Amino acid sequence: MQHMEYQKNLANGQIERAVQTVKNSLTKAAEEGKDLYVVLLDYRIQPAKDMPSPAELLMGRKLRTFLPSHPGQLKPTFDVERAREALRKRQIIQNKYANKHATVMPVLHQNAKV
């Protein structure tokens, strides 16, 4: 078994970045007097790099927005395997950078002094 040290802020960078983006958007919307639900809707419909939007990942279809769209676009046409593969690729890249400065810890034996 290998022991790896992780820095807290590098261990979950994708989630940390998403939280930061939502907080900044909500703060800006509150300052400008915009509807917070519209801001959240805008965030949910924005696709990530090489992946569908968070709403498409959750519901399997595009969300209805204030912009006119064809009803055919609102029907589920989601390829789950393609999304899983894209997520795996992103996690491998993220893991590579997160473990860049991680060190392998020595093996601990029973009754060994630490």
Q: Summarize pLDDT for 17-47 with one digit per residue, the tens.
A: 888 988 998 899 999 998 888 888 888 888 8
Q: Look-up: residue for tokens 């968070």?
A: 54
Classify the C-alpha dihedral 21-25-26-28 as positive or negative: positive
Point out which residues pair with 104 in neighbouring strands.
Answer: 4
pLDDT tens per residue across span 55-79: 887 777 777 777 666 677 667 666 7
Residue 89 has pLDDT above 90, yes or no: yes
> Structure tokens of 63?
């969300």
What is the model's pLDDT at position 24? 92
Structure tokens given for 98: 């997160």
**Cα(90)–Cα(84) distance, integer angstroms:** 10
Whole-model pTM: value is: 0.47
What pLDDT score does 58 carry? 79
Please check whether residue 29 is in contact with residue 35, taking contact to mean a CB–CB distance below 8 angstroms. yes
Q: How much is the pLDDT for 91?
A: 92
Average confidence score pLDDT of the chain: 80
Whether residue 74 contacts residue 64, with contact meaning beta carbons closer than 8 Å, is answered with: yes
* DSSP secondary structure of 11-54: HTHHHHHHHHHHHHHHHHHHHHT--HHHHHHHHHHSPPTTS--H
